Structure 1
Amino acid sequence: MGRKTLPSLNGSSTSVQEADDTLLDREQLIEFYRLMYLSRRTDDREIVLKRQQKIFFQISCAGHEALLVAAGMAMRPGYDWFFPYYRDRAICLTLGNTVEEQLLQAVGAADDPASGGRQMPSHWGIKKLNIVTQSSATATQCLHAVGCAEAGRYFRNHPEASAKPALSSGIDYRQYKDVKFEADEVVYVSIGEGSTSQGEFWESLNTASNAKLPIVFVVEDNGYAISTPVEANTPGGNISKLVANFPNFHFAEIDGTDAIASYKAMVEAVAYCRAGHGPALVHGHVVRPYSHSLSDDERQYRSAEEVEADSLKDPIARMQMYLLREGILNEAEIDRLERQVDEEVQRAADRAVRGPLPVATREAILKHVYSEDLSVTDPRFSTEPQRTPDDAERTMADLINACLKDEMRRDERIVVFGEDVADATRDTALRAGKIKGKGGVFKLTSGLQNEFGNDRCWNSPLAEANIVGRAVGMAVRGMKPVVEIQFFDYIWPAVHQMRNELSVIRWRSNGEYSCPVVIRVPIGGYLTGGSIYHSQSGESIFTHTPGIRVVMPSNALDAVGLLRTAIRCDDPVLFLEHKRLYRETFGRAMYPGPEYAIPFGKAKIVKAGTDVTVVTYGAVVPRALQAAMKIERELGISVELIDLRTLSPYDWETIAESVRKTNRVIVAHEDMQSWGYGAEIAARIGDELFHDLDAPVRRVAAMDTFVAYQPALEDVILPQADDVYKAIAELAAF
């Protein structure tokens, strides 16, 4: 292959390989400029609309256009996958997103294809182009890109998993669709230089490097994170110097205002990834000729001299001069092209501002918070236990493990990963039978790696955001990640991913994307020595998060039935497993077969009664049952005990029916009393059932403090059977 010298925008020469994908011909150069100018004029039109109060927010791509059009022209829409950030207008236009579509989002119109008016402008998401719905959070998308690339590789290595799985029940679960994948697809993810300070960015580099994933990271470095200059964010002021030692990476640091240099760098980066060599990072130095957003005034923190110096590097002016200097277009031709773009943008704006607004009803607003096909009456998730050859009663831990194995045998899209969940990462000795294997600190994933292999069960880095963020990227591609957070006490680094990404993807994309991840988490105390960091509860934080189902079984049979529903439904599910109940004698059961499922939102009446209702869940269930049986023997008080089983949604109808019967109610839970889960139940009972009550609503819960190490302290801090007994007696006597 020969070589050809191509002039760069600054007049120097760039040597590139002479091939169709590394050189821009005349028509491509003209289109390159048209797209850059189209992006700038769309920004300018949004600014006008904001000042006319026809839109409500504006943030621009100005100064980034050359780098982003280059990225778009180097990649393939609908073939590769894209996780952009809010400066990425130009790449989205290059991929096929239209000006009208972008302005419909600015207006907040019903026809906005990215979100139906639910997201701010410049929050991209076009499913047909593989542009994945984007949030305002910074750096979270880097981990989604990792998961997406892992899913693409998985489908390439397991093409049979891309088709609908054969279900033994013969029922076609709605979320299962044929998955489209390409053998050499590449994933694009972009980020501003300020966001490289975020942990998710570094976690994503770590995994991409380790796994040699085909991801192109693009750092758009305009020197500022709002008002914070790059040297305050990045040691040495240069992210390329910091990441240079990651193995398996292709790195390029370029002038991102130079269209030719940008295109060359992007083509080389994409080619490196497409060939399977590993990830790439392109660090483009760009400018920001406009303020951070229209809500920001950069004159408060940037000097006029600095802004003027940046204006001399404006990529629009540089590309225009290049076209003139190289004789590709003359002034009249440039003027004609720009007038055509101006007219296109004006027509798009006129149509967008006339677009109908979203329907502002309660029903319409709540649509897509959860999947539409999951209800307590759904026959797919409400089945009877079946007898199996093995009729021995087993623990909750045993049945969860059996359910995971049955589901993984049924559906090749299911993968399991987390900290220490594999049998043995260095598995040679495992295969030789020399070691038993770990399979999780509580052994609930024991045998999964051994049976299903390293690409279906593996150990993650010790990084909880990494676990959940990668799962998000896999799930939007059609996989079913069932991940484990080792202890609830350490879930907090993942909360950003759960609250701002996982929970809201379906709603913010107006139903275009779903993210059916199952997060299994050991939770709770009563451990005799668990102390502060192995005894935490905090489920109310997650029930306060719309879009995530929260499940907490109290016994083995419920655990397997609810876990199967969690895996087969199309919603994200937080599956809380109480550590104290894993191997308790209470609640053991026979394995109910590979199709047994329990619907979400359906409580279980553990014990019927007539005098007092006790509503609870988790490890308080056996303690409340002990108290109920004792008080009935000793005082003749008949207690109706309700196990909620699922906390979001919860079974209000069963609670209300019981309270109308007993006229007295206690809500008991292990978490702290103040601002705990029971407060909402108690408030709703007081609001809707006040006239049915013969006594105040009572709560039994933990003290408003941490769980101590010494068992004598733990016993006082956490609610015990005696606490429930005393509350029942006092309420019955009211």
Structure 2
Amino acid sequence: MAAHLDLSAPSTTLTREQRVGLYRTIYAARRIDDKEITGKRQNKVYFQINGVGHEAVQAAAAMVFRPGHDWFFFYYRDRALAYGLGYTAKEMFLGSVGAVDDPASGGRQMPSHWGHKGLNIYTTSSPTGSQFLQAVGAVEAVVRAEQSGLTEALGIHSDEVALVTTGDGTCSQGEFWEAISNAVNLKAPVVFLVEDNGYAISTPSEVQYPGGNVAALVQGYEAHGLLILDEVDGCDPIASYEALKAAADHARARKGPALVRAKVIRPYSHSLSDDEQLYKSKAQREAEAQRDPVVTYAARLVAGGDLSEAQLQMLKEEVQVEIDAAWEEADAAPRPEPGSYYRHLYSEEVDPTSSDFDTEHASGDQATGAKTMIDLINATLKHEMARDPRILVFGEDVADASREEILGEVKGKGGVFKATHGLQKQFGAHRVFNSPLAEATIIGRAIGLSARGLKPVVEIQFFDYIWPAMQQLRDELANIRWRSNGAFKSPMVVRVPIAGYLMGGATYHSQCGESTFTHIPGLRVVCPSTALDAAGLLRTAIRCDDPVLFLEPKHLYRQTHNKGNDPGPDFMIPFGKARTVREGSSLSVITYGNTVHRAVQAAREAEKEGISVEILDLRTLNPYDWAAIERTVKKTHRVIVAHEDTLSWGYGSEIAARIADELFFHLDAPVRRVAAKDTWVAYYPALEDEILPQPKDFLEAYRKLISI
């Protein structure tokens, strides 16, 4: 059963100064909200969402947890919590007006999307629930760093905890349940604070999940170390303090995570775009007003002798002076400069397109013999893990064996394609480990780990199953640096086997879809076609400072035509540098991945007919090598853009459009495309061959283009 602390007696652990300090935080947060609302009506603030009614439990949390020591993953109502930790009224108003000095985002996000590097308040985003897994990863880093001897180097404290907050509605999200499960499994020192005001905008909690009490639904985890503190009066800061202190002490002692469900109110509407009178009765609203901590806790302080009426009034006036002055300063603060929107899209310290990453001239060890792509990926991971102790490798089935006691008697799994085989045996289970079968978990935890200075190199087992992680990839990973105006970053590598030509892969093991990810600003996307390129590009991906989606055409893993010698531990290929696979003069083919070899096969046949085909392998899709494309188009004046994905809305459409736009007068014929049919990939091999582009399709395209 969930724990119920005895909160009937007043706290003896808090001083008068602390009790009054709680009220000051509560009242200041309320007045900041009110000031923002006024600013919105004056059209000086463009969006407002409040934390009204949640202030008491948040003020208590700010007194329990340690800014700059613990880590914080908030949601948008946490104004009092942020203020209590040291986030000033001026800093909040800088966010309200979109000023360049807004510590959360420099005017890039809506107000109340908290972020403060100095306080360890991690950048907050709008998607509800995406913060949970990141919080688990952030404190998972404590144990991983300890085991690798990296705590001092990474500035990690052995007794730190993470506080992650949420409203009751967000507990409907699957990532909440994944995070609880992961935190319990890992005994992660994280406190989940559910600020339950009974509504998700207009939808009451009992519609969200059975019974409307999430604490009652997670009780099965208590046997495994989850401390549950339920029915905490979140409008009573003293009761809230006692509950949160117990939760923090439990987590800090490494007994496991804790969940606190605090019953709060929401006497204002969800936001200024909402009207609660449309779905709350007058009686409900009056009942909420009776619990308002701005009124009830003030009366309690006066009745208990902590403040006189005159002292209470003086406190309120002092707060108002602070807030009015903060507003005036923020209102006059400079706004973002025109053209500044590209700053912090990618790392400004490490440029993976630069010559620093161009060691392609390095020769491999000829004595080793030619290796397959999967072999060189494995070798590169081993080289890099030996070089950098911050690297962690995890995903589904990537370990040799989760049960370490049997490692000596089994060969080891090492991934369904063997890309990570032997890594756990060589580097240990604290650096190479299996994740649950949950893709959002993999990316979310990796974001939290990378926030702490570790370098996750994770695997999504098949591209076809990447979609449960899409929110973490698109709404989180790719924009963390940009949305925080450079305050936070998440450099990591996501390895993903992709694409078809498998003879039986069918609908759910043959998907492409790379254009979905090249469309995402802030995400590097790589797709090698040879073993040597895979080694050089993977090393660059690991050593760069941005998130990288590393697409590995699984059909090419063990082919013989693309083998290469192990180039050694310093071999790198810069992003945005294409490779000329074949020189030609009649026409150019711009492609990547599986279709490179098919274009080459067709080019050999075309040569017999006097058609000289130049083939350019892009190798990286974001960024791509426009200079190389420009050169080849100006050389042959005829061009085909080819990819394995469906023809319509595929990656090649962007390249073809840009060629037509910028190189039109260098073309002697229209830009043509070769791609898959606009359908799914079938199981039966003959149908798969018909759907996916084959050498004969390339040859036919060459003949047609040269005849124009």
Aligned to 2:491: 516
Pairing partner for 1:289 from 262, 267, 272: 267
1:678-689 superposed matches below 5 A? 678-689=652-663
Residue 156 of structure 1: CA displacement? 2.6
What is the TM-score normalised by the length of structure 1? 0.94
Residue 24 of structure 1: CA displacement? 0.9
1:397-412 superposed matches below 5 A? 397-412=374-389
Pairing partner for 1:321 from 299, 306, 324: 299
Aligned to 1:174: none
Aligned to 1:503, the other structure's residue is in SS state helix
Contact 1:612 1:638 in 2 (8 A): yes
Contact 1:189 1:217 in 2 (8 A): yes
Pair 1:205 & 2:180 matched: yes
Aligned to 1:504, the other structure's residue is in SS state helix
Q: Distance in 2 between matches of 1:561 and 1:526?
A: 24
Residue 155 of structure 1: CA displacement? 1.7
Q: Distance in 2 between matches of 1:196 and 1:603?
A: 46
Q: Read off the aligned partner of 1:535 and give its amino acid letter.
A: S
Aligned to 2:630: 656
1:359-438 superposed matches below 5 A? 359-361=337-339, 364-372=340-348, 373-388=350-365, 390-431=367-408, 434-438=409-413
In the superposition, relative to structure 1, how do residues 141 and 608 fare at CA in structure 2: closer, same or farther (>3 Å)? same
Q: Distance in 1 between matches of 2:496 and 2:462?
A: 6
1:522-533 superposed matches below 5 A? 522-533=497-508
Aligned to 1:493: 468
1:592-611 superposed matches below 5 A? 592-611=567-586
Residue 507 of structure 1: CA displacement? 0.1
Residues 37-89 of structure 1: CA deviation (Å, up to 9, x unaligned): 01000000000000011010000111001101111100111000000110011
Structure 1: gaps of 5 or more residues = 1-5, 164-177
Residue 381 of structure 1: CA displacement? 4.5
Pairing partner for 2:9 from 9, 13, 23: 13
Aligned to 1:308: 286
Aligned to 2:368, the other structure's residue is in SS state coil
Q: Distance in 2 between matches of 1:327 and 1:382?
A: 73
Pairing partner for 1:465 from 440, 443, 448: 440
Q: Read off the aligned partner of 2:318 and give its amino acid letter.
A: Q
Residue 391 of structure 1: CA displacement? 2.3
Q: Read off the aligned partner of 2:381 and give its amino acid letter.
A: L
Structure 2: gaps of 5 or more residues = none
Q: Distance in 2 between matches of 1:337 and 1:449?
A: 59
Residues 297-350 of structure 1: CA deviation (Å, up to 9, x unaligned): 111111111111111011111210110111100110000000000111110011
Q: Distance in 1 between matches of 2:585 and 2:571?
A: 31
Pair 1:262 & 2:240 matched: yes
What is the TM-score normalised by the length of structure 2? 0.98
Q: Distance in 2 between matches of 1:392 and 1:640?
A: 29
Pair 1:86 & 2:76 matched: yes
Aligned to 1:171: none
Q: Distance in 1 between matches of 2:669 and 2:365?
A: 47
Residue 437 of structure 1: CA displacement? 0.9
Contact 2:352 2:544 in 1 (8 A): no
Pair 1:98 & 2:76 matched: no
Aligned to 2:36: 46
Q: Read off the aligned partner of 1:285 and give its amino acid letter.
A: K
Q: Read off the aligned partner of 2:279 and give its amino acid letter.
A: Y
Contact 2:585 2:614 in 1 (8 A): yes
Q: Distance in 2 between matches of 1:512 and 1:114?
A: 8
Pairing partner for 2:228 from 227, 242, 251: 251
Q: Distance in 2 between matches of 1:445 and 1:540?
A: 27
Q: Distance in 1 between matches of 2:482 and 2:647?
A: 31
In the superposition, relative to structure 1, how do residues 437 and 675 fare at CA in structure 2: closer, same or farther (>3 Å)? same
Task: Among all aligned residue pairs of Structure 1 and Structure 2, give the percentage whose two residues are the same amino acid.
Answer: 56
Q: Read off the aligned partner of 1:360 and give its amino acid letter.
A: P
Contact 2:352 2:540 in 1 (8 A): no
Q: Distance in 2 between matches of 1:323 and 1:672?
A: 68
Q: Distance in 2 between matches of 1:462 and 1:154?
A: 21
Q: Read off the aligned partner of 2:80 and give its amino acid letter.
A: A
Residues 265-299 of structure 1: CA deviation (Å, up to 9, x unaligned): 01110001111101000000000010000111111
Aligned to 1:240: 215
Q: Distance in 2 between matches of 1:44 and 1:273?
A: 35
Residue 242 of structure 1: CA displacement? 0.4
Pair 1:583 & 2:576 matched: no
Residues 84-133 of structure 1: CA deviation (Å, up to 9, x unaligned): 11001111111111000011001000111111100100011111111111
Q: Read off the aligned partner of 2:700 and give its amino acid letter.
A: K
State the 4+ residue runs in structure 1 displaced beyond 2 angstroms: 156-159, 375-378, 380-391
Contact 1:200 1:466 in 2 (8 A): yes
Residues 685-710 of structure 1: CA deviation (Å, up to 9, x unaligned): 11001111111100000001000000
Residue 162 of structure 1: CA displacement? 4.8
Q: Read off the aligned partner of 1:374 and give its amino acid letter.
A: D
Pairing partner for 1:158 from 148, 151, 172: 148
In the superposition, relative to structure 1, how do residues 381 and 308 fare at CA in structure 2: closer, same or farther (>3 Å)? farther
Q: Distance in 1 between matches of 2:44 and 2:396?
A: 49
In the superposition, relative to structure 1, how do residues 666 and 162 fare at CA in structure 2: closer, same or farther (>3 Å)? farther
Aligned to 2:676: 702
Pairing partner for 1:619 from 584, 594, 608: 594
Residue 387 of structure 1: CA displacement? 3.8
Residue 224 of structure 1: CA displacement? 0.6
Pairing partner for 1:298 from 276, 298, 305: 276
Q: Distance in 2 between matches of 1:248 and 1:468?
A: 24
Residues 442-492 of structure 1: CA deviation (Å, up to 9, x unaligned): 000000111111110111000000000000001111110000000000000
Would you say how many aligned residue pairs link Structure 1 and Structure 2? 700
1:528-607 superposed matches below 5 A? 528-607=503-582
Residues 576-629 of structure 1: CA deviation (Å, up to 9, x unaligned): 000100000011011000010000000000001111000000000000011111
Residue 197 of structure 1: CA displacement? 0.4
Aligned to 1:168: none
CA RMSD, aligned part only? Answer: 1.2
Aligned to 1:186: 161
